[in-house]
Every structure is written in structure tokens, then in C-alpha cells.
Structure 1
Amino acid sequence: MRAVLVLMSALLVMVVAGCSVNDDPPSTGGDATGTRIEVGGDDALQWGDGQYGVVLAHGAVFDAASWEDQATAIADQGATVIAVENISPESIAAAVAKLHDDGHADVALMGGSAGADAILQLVSQQPGLPHQLVLLSPNKVVDGLGDEPKLFIASEDEPVADVSQQLADNSPGQNNDVILLPGSDHGQNIFDGENADAAMGAILERLAG
């Protein structure tokens, strides 16, 4: 009987361990090539030195370094990119202020999931702040956005896909687009799926325009 109990306990540990492995653990992005800076008293990473400014806000289980591939691609086409570690609206606003102070007149805001929600909260309070928005899988609809161009990207089978469609349909301005990709990947997980190239291509085209 004791041997059976020990075996059952071992199996339970294996099942729990297996669940934790498949539960989208936080991504650290490895050793990021971005420069570590301070923005508003918080850590951030910066890539590039182009004329256009871009601020990145990560999802809840990600971090600033998780934007490594996307930030590098955006910087390579002529932007200065800052990924904030603290995704509060205040920290995002501080990153925008730094880019403005450094001479970047136009700053786009890009975020995934919780980072997209933080950007929406900020922009609903300061609708004239960004030059444009690029948001992956926002989780809730907000009012009070400005006329800036907006690109919403989500997967058509994820539970919050309708949020991106509603934001695109109901937001002010003439250049509000939504891209619904096949599958169910959420937020930055889109960049790990089969639709990564399609998503990144649309983002680079938008940020270059």
C-alpha cells in the first residue's frame, strides 16, 4: 500500500510539473541587445537611434527583453525603440516624454495584451499623445481615444478577438484597421506562431508609413 501511495505521489508531481511547463511561462527574451536605460525611475531597454519613436509595452507574463526581435526589426527601419519594464500608464508616458525630449516629434505606442490595455488607458486620458497605435490582443474596449491611426491585431479564435474589432469600428479617426489572424494565439504569443511573419510584416509597414 505504501508503495502505491509513493507511486501516486510521484505521478502527481509529474502531472503538476507538466502543467507548469505548458502554462505560457514568463518570457525573458534571452540576452537582449538593447541598451539598458532608466525611464521615469524604472528600467527600460532601448534599440536604435532613428528619427521615429516607438514605445513597447509587454504582456503580463513577458518583460521588456521579450520584444528583442520585434524591437530590432523596427529599429532597423529607422526608429528609436524603448521597451518599458513597468507597463503602467505612467511609465509608458514617461518613455514618450523621454523620446520627445530627445527630439522625436512623433512617437507610436505598441503593446500586447496587458500592455495594450495600459496604452489604451493612457491614451483615453491623453488622446493627443501618440502619433499612432499598434495593439495586439487588447482585452477591453475603452472610450476617449483620439484621431490617431490605429492598428489592432488579434487571432480570430481567441476569446477577446471581438475587442479588437469593436475598437477598430468604434474609435474616432479615419485610419483604424483590424487584422484577425487564423488560430488562437494571444498577444505576443502571435510572434511564436505560424502567423508571426504576417503580423510583423503588417506592423513594420504601418510603422514605416
Structure 2
Amino acid sequence: MVDMLGTLKRTALAPVLVLALASCGGSPETASTGSTGDSSGQTISVAGAPASRWGQGDYGVVLAHGAAFNAASWEEQAVAIADQGASVIAVEDIDPDAIRDAVEQLQGEGVADVALVGASAGADAILDLASQDPSLADQLILLSPNATVDGLGEEPKLFVASEDEPVANVSTELAASSPGEENEVTILPGTAHAQNIFATDQAGPVLDAMLQRLKRFAAP
């Protein structure tokens, strides 16, 4: 079934919404690591580890990059998210504990609700964290996660993958098996894995889908 984005194909298995752009293992990534210049956001420290920061909104978003990328690689997406009224932190360390530290830093600033967005290895780290603490995240957006997990909560989840990448079935399985009534999987044409999608003609539609999800499920 073709969805409202036109170029994106959605597999409707269960009412599930998840956005994730990170993973801690599995399929290797092949794209470059992205910009490391001064346009990559304000450099901050999260629990002693470096991170990049955009925006000062009342809704929080933590970004976890893939293994071949870095925090600055989220620049274009982070700027768009911040322009929508969010406080955005992209962690350099994608260990689950480091992601939790970023969530707690935003909460310490008074940001009550935080979305987790991950790609490949970053997505895997988010899944690990969310399965340990299902109430931590307000919503999940995951790009090309590499493995399924149990124990997720009922938060909205969006899963995105390319139909011809080796781990495409993982996103489909997660959307079907995860708790909650706002879970969704979007399967794209092509082979691009995780953040490599942003180097294809699917970049605009995927970013638009992310922004729509973040706005839709942001705290009122």
C-alpha cells in the first residue's frame, strides 16, 4: 500500500509508530562520517562525554548515530527538528548509558518528554535502553535497527528501512511485535542502510516523516 508520502511504501502490520536512527551492531555502514565543522551544533558535555546541541525548545530529542557516523552527521536533521521547537542533543558516545545521560540532562533542564531517534548501531542502543526502561522515552524513531528485542513499552514507534538491505525484516518484525497502538513501519525502495538513506532521493520524505511524528506525539 502506498502511503501519503508517495515515494515511500508502508507495510501495515500493527498500529505501531517508531522513529529510530541508530544501532549498536549488525550490518556495517558505508557512508562518510559527516561534517565535523562549527556548523555541527554547539559542543556540550553530557556526563563528561562530548555531544552536539541544537535548539532550546520545551520538547526533547536525543539522536544516536550509526557506527560509521558521528554526532555532527545529524546536523541537517537536528536543525530541522530544533526549528520545530525542540531541544536536540546528538550524543557522540552511543552506549545506552550515554543516551540515558542525555535524556536525564534534558529532563534536568525542565524538558519533561524526550524522543529517542537512532540509526543502525544507534538504533540498537536505543532499543536496548528502551527495553530496560520502557517508560524513559516519549517516542522512538529508528532507522535500520539490526536486531529485535523484547520488553519495549507502549510509546509511539516509527521504524524505517530499505527493502533490499539485509536487515529490512527487523523493522517489519519490530513494528508487528511491539506493544502500543501507534507503531508504524516504513519500507523504502533501494538498499541504503540507516543514515545512508539521507544521501538518497528518499532523504526529504524520511525527514518529513520524522518531523511529522515528532510534532504529532510531542507533549501538548
TM-score bracket for the superposition, by shorter chain length: 0.7 to 0.9
Matches within 5 A, 1:22-37: 23-37=30-44
Q: Is 1:180–2:177 an aligned residue pair?
A: no
Return closer, same or farther for 1:185/1:29 CA change in 2, 3 Å cut-off: farther
RMSD: 1.0
**Match of 2:197?**
190
Per the alignment, residue 116 of structure 1 pairs with: 123
Matched, 1:71 2:73: no
Structure 1 CA distance, aligned partners of 2:36 and 2:209?
22
- Work out whether residues 145 and 167 of structure 2, in 8 Å CA contact, stay in contact via their aligned partners in 1: yes
Q: 1:139 Cα deviation (Å)? A: 0.2
Secondary structure class of the residue paired with 1:172: coil
Aligned to 1:100: 107
| Contact 1:29/1:67 (8 A) holds in 2 | no
So what's the TM-score if we normalise by structure 1? 0.87
Map of 1:53-72 to 2, 5 A cutoff? 53-72=60-79
CA distance in 2, matches of 1:125, 1:24: 30
Residues 55 and 95, structure 1, Cα contact 8 Å, conserved in 2: yes
Check the 8 A contact 2:40/2:73 in 1, yes or no: no
CA contact (8 A) 1:29 1:68 kept: no
Q: Which residue of 2 aligns with 1:20?
A: none
| 8 A contact 2:58–2:86 mirrored in 1 | yes
**CA displacement, residues 26-77 of structure 1 (integer Å, 9 cap, x when unaligned):** 3345433411110011000100011110000000000000000000000000
Other-structure match for 2:160: 153
Residue identity opposite 1:130 in structure 2 = A
Q: Measure the CA separation in 2 of the matches of 1:165 and 1:49.
A: 34
Q: Counterpart amino acid of 1:76?
A: D
**Structure 1 match to 2:57:** 50
The structure with the larger Rg is 1
- Runs of 5+ consecutive residues of structure 2 not aligned to the other structure: 1-29
Among 78, 81, 91, the alignment partner of 2:88 is 81
Question: Would you tell me which structure has more helix in proportion to its own residues?
Answer: 1
Following superposition, the deviation at residue 165 of structure 1 comes to: 0.4
Q: CA deviation digits over 1:73-114, x for unaligned, max 9?
A: 000000000000000000000000001010111100000000
Percentage identity across aligned positions? 60
Q: Which residue of 2 aligns with 1:207?
A: 214
Q: How far has the Cα of 1:200 moved from its partner? A: 0.5
Which residue in 2 is equivalent to 1:91?
A: 98
Alignment gaps of 5+ in structure 1 = 1-22
